[in-house]
Amino acid sequence: MTMKQMTNMPPAGTKMVVVGGCGGMGRALVEAALAAELSVTVLDLARSIDQSPPRAGVAAIACDLSDEQSVVAAFERIAATWGSIDCLVNLAGYTGERITVENLSVKEWDEITDCCVRGVFLAARSAIPLLRKGRNASMVLIASTFAHLVSVRGFAPYAAAKAGVVSLGKALATECAPEIRVNVISPGLIQTPFLDGGTGRGPRASNLNPDKYALGVPLRRLGNPEEIAAPILFLASPSASYITGQVLHVNGGVWAP
């Protein structure tokens, strides 16, 4: 590839599937993708689609990542419409009340890990055959700084699940090469509705003080959704054609081993 062919944005017409596209980071990504003339399909919970529908021109398919058949059916619809996809971005994530492990129920553990890591596996498994038919195919998984550094009590299932996403991304990069590149982004705390329970789920008290958390961030603030959308699009672009199996930390400088 020549320097003239290098671009930090996916080519116009790129077929991108955004899992969790109705959330704060998802909506920012969809807007940026549409501005770049990408074709976008959003997968999200039915309630999320009802509460925060994507704008005209974006297909939205109800999909529950905790339900295997729901995931399979969603990608069957995509296959019937597009035949192939060029990029899968999985932004889905969920965490409940802040509860320490000794007080955590199995039900709560399962709800969080089913969404945050099992669901990522299910979506990847269904997407791979479609990505193999795509162009410059790539997958971008969203983990979390908590996958690497757990400095706040009460996030054990979320942290464990997101650490699983990191390892799953590395395994997929090995298994899917050379046809599909797979990378992971680990965001820090981002100012979105996720901090209060996310879209599609009832509100819950995180008891996490964003202002206090920001004092421990070298850039002294939380991130914004656009600051996650931009590196996602870069990793899906021709400029990232030799990047796979990597974890990109986008967290304002928080040290994450």
pLDDT digits (tens, 9 = 90+) for 88-100: 999 999 888 889 9
Predicted pLDDT at 196: 57
What's residue 1's pLDDT? 55
Cα(62)–Cα(57) distance, rounded to whole angstroms?
16
Predicted local confidence at residue 231, as pLDDT: 98
The verdict on whether 158 is a catalytic residue reads yes
What per-residue confidence (pLDDT) applies to 221?
92
Which residues of the chain have a pLDDT value below 50?
197
Contacts of residue 190, defined as CB under 8 A and 6 or more positions apart, other chains included, come to: 24, 25, 222, 223, 224, 225, 227, 228
Tell me what pLDDT residue 96 has. Answer: 86
How far apart CA 114 and CA 94 sit, in angstroms, is 9
CB 46 within 8 A of CB 62: yes
Catalytic residue, chosen from 94, 158, 213, 242, is 158
CA distances from 110 to 65, 183, 204, 224 (A): 13, 25, 17, 29
What is the structure's pLDDT at 202? 56
Q: Can you give the pLDDT at residue 195?
A: 60
Q: Which amino acid is at 252?
A: G
Please give the model's pTM, rounded to 2 decimal places.
Answer: 0.91
Whether 150 and 96 have beta carbons less than 8 Å apart is answered as: no
